[in-house]
Structures are given as structure tokens and as C-alpha cells.
């Protein structure tokens, strides 16, 4: 197993990246984001699956913060020493792969944010490959998080995925209304969460 201090430091960095993302997004999209946020809030309020998804995403951030706090106060054995902790040969390599996957996921999220423009149909950057690269980035981050902790409690964020898939579907309805035929053509040629091997 990797040293708990190393894992805690990485998770602390991850939490800092989440904060940087929130600040960046709020500054970049201050005006237009208000309308998009209103649409998302109305959608979420009417869809229990999306509300449940939000709970599990918050759980993900709380789990990261809890791990860091437990290490700082010297109680990491509560998780790492528990009976449910997974241990097997080469688990340190699996954890290192998990950390790498999380970093890759964050890179996708940040590249997506950089390319995003709420006033235009974005088909460049990561949006050339999938229609919802930010969700894909977070799915990769969740996978990396589990592989890094190697603890079943780190599976909780995966329970947010059905709600996020539902949210992506609602976003597509909104984008179809906003951009019409251009978005429909984009949908036909670019995969939702996985790149298409050939364009339609």
C-alpha cells in the first residue's frame, strides 16, 4: 500500500483542484451561467435521480476530505486498517494507477471548461471526441479514486452516475432547443460518453 501521507497529500491537491475549477468556472461564465444554472436547478428539482446524484457527488468530496483529516489527526487506521480494506500483491501499483487516472480525469475536466462557451455550440477541444467530456472526466476521477483508496467506501461516487447520465440527457434537450439542427447533426457524429469509431 502507498503511504497514507502520500495519498492524503494527493487528495488534498484534488480538493484544491475542485476549488480552482469552481472559481474558474464562476469567473468565466458569470453572466451566461446564471441562465444555465437556472435550467439545471429546475431540472434537478423535478428529478429525484439527479438530486440523489448530487448527494453522492458531495459524498465523494466529503470522503476525500475525511481521508485527509483522518491522516492529519493520526487516525488513518480507521479506514486503512479496517476489515474492508482491499489488499493484494501490487496494490501500490494499482494505487499509483488510480492517482494517474484521477489526474487524467482532472485534465479532461479543465480542458473541457477551457473550451466551453455557453453562447456557442462547442465542437472543439474534448468536445470533438465526446459530447459530455466533463462527465467522462468525472467518471474517470471516480474510478481513479476507488483504485487509489482500494476501499469499498470509495465506490459511493459511482452511485451518482445514473443521475449524471440523466442530467446529460436533459442538457441535450436544452441544447437541441437552443442550437436546433446544428446540435442534432453534432449528436449524430459525436458519441455521448464514448468516442465514435467512425462518424455518421
Here the CATH number for the domain that contains residue 158 is 1.20.120.1630
Q: Is 44 within the bounds of a domain?
A: yes
Q: Is 35 within the bounds of a domain?
A: yes
Q: Is 49 within the bounds of a domain?
A: yes
Q: Domain range spanning residue 141?
A: 4-189
pLDDT digits (tens, 9 = 90+) for 171-181: 999 899 999 99
DSSP state for residue 80 in the 8-state scheme: H
Q: Vertex 145, ends 41 and 89: CA angle to 5°? A: 160
Does residue 151 register a pLDDT over 70?
yes
**Contacts (Cβ under 8 Å, ≥6 apart) of 17:** 106
**Contacts (Cβ under 8 Å, ≥6 apart) of 152:** 84, 86
Closest CA to 134 of 113, 155, 104: 113
Longest CA–CA separation in the chain, Å: 57
Closest CA to 157 of 46, 11, 6: 11
Which of the two residues, 25 and 192, has the higher pLDDT score?
A: 192
Closest CA to 142 of 51, 88, 63, 72: 63
Check residue 50 and give its pLDDT.
Answer: 86
Check residue 101 and give its pLDDT.
Answer: 97
Average pLDDT estimate for 164-173:
92
Q: Is 200 within the bounds of a domain?
A: no
Q: Is 197 within the bounds of a domain?
A: no
Q: Is 134 within the bounds of a domain?
A: yes
Per-residue H/E/C for 134-192: HHHHHHHHHHHHHHHHCCHHHHHHHHHHHHHHHHHHHHHHHHHHHHCHHHHHHHHHCEC
Does residue 40 register a pLDDT over 50?
yes
Query: Which range, 76-85, 87-96, 177-186, has the best average confidence (pLDDT)?
Result: 177-186
pLDDT digits (tens, 9 = 90+) for 89-108: 888 999 999 999 999 999 99
pTM: 0.86
CB atoms within 10 A of CB 89: 7
Which of the two residues, 198 and 63, has the higher pLDDT score?
A: 63
Average pLDDT estimate for 161-166:
93
Does residue 192 register a pLDDT over 80?
yes
Does residue 84 register a pLDDT over 50?
yes
Q: Is 198 within the bounds of a domain?
A: no
CA–CA dist 164, 49 (Å, integer) = 9
Q: Is 199 within the bounds of a domain?
A: no
Mean pLDDT over each residue of the chain, to the nearest integer? 86
Domain count, the chain: 1
Amino acid at each position: 500500500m502507498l503511504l497514507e501521507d502520500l495519498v492524503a497529500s494527493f487528495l488534498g491537491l484534488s480538493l484544491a483542484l475542485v476549488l480552482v475549477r469552481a472559481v474558474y468556472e464562476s469567473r468565466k461564465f458569470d453572466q451566461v451561467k446564471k441562465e444555465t444554472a437556472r435550467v439545471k436547478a429546475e431540472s434537478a428539482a423535478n428529478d429525484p435521480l439527479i438530486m440523489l446524484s448530487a448527494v453522492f457527488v458531495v459524498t465523494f468530496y466529503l470522503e476525500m476530505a475525511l481521508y485527509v483529516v483522518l491522516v492529519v489527526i493520526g487516525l488513518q487506521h480507521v479506514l486503512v486498517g479496517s476489515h474492508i480494506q482491499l489488499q493484494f500483491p501490487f496494490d501500490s501499483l494499482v494505487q499509483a494507477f488510480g492517482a494517474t487516472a484521477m489526474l487524467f480525469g482532472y485534465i479532461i475536466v479543465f480542458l473541457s471548461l477551457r473550451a466551453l462557451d455557453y453562447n456557442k455550440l462547442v465542437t472543439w477541444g474534448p468536445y470533438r471526441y465526446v459530447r459530455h467530456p466533463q462527465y467522462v472526466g468525472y467518471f474517470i476521477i471516480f474510478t481513479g479514486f476507488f483504485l487509489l483508496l482500494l476501499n469499498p467506501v470509495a465506490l459511493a461516487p459511482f452511485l451518482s452516475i445514473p443521475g449524471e447520465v440523466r442530467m446529460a440527457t436533459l442538457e441535450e434537450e436544452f441544447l437541441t432547443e437552443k442550437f436546433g439542427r446544428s446540435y442534432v447533426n453534432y449528436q449524430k457524429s459525436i458519441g455521448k460518453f464514448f468516442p465514435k469509431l467512425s462518424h455518421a
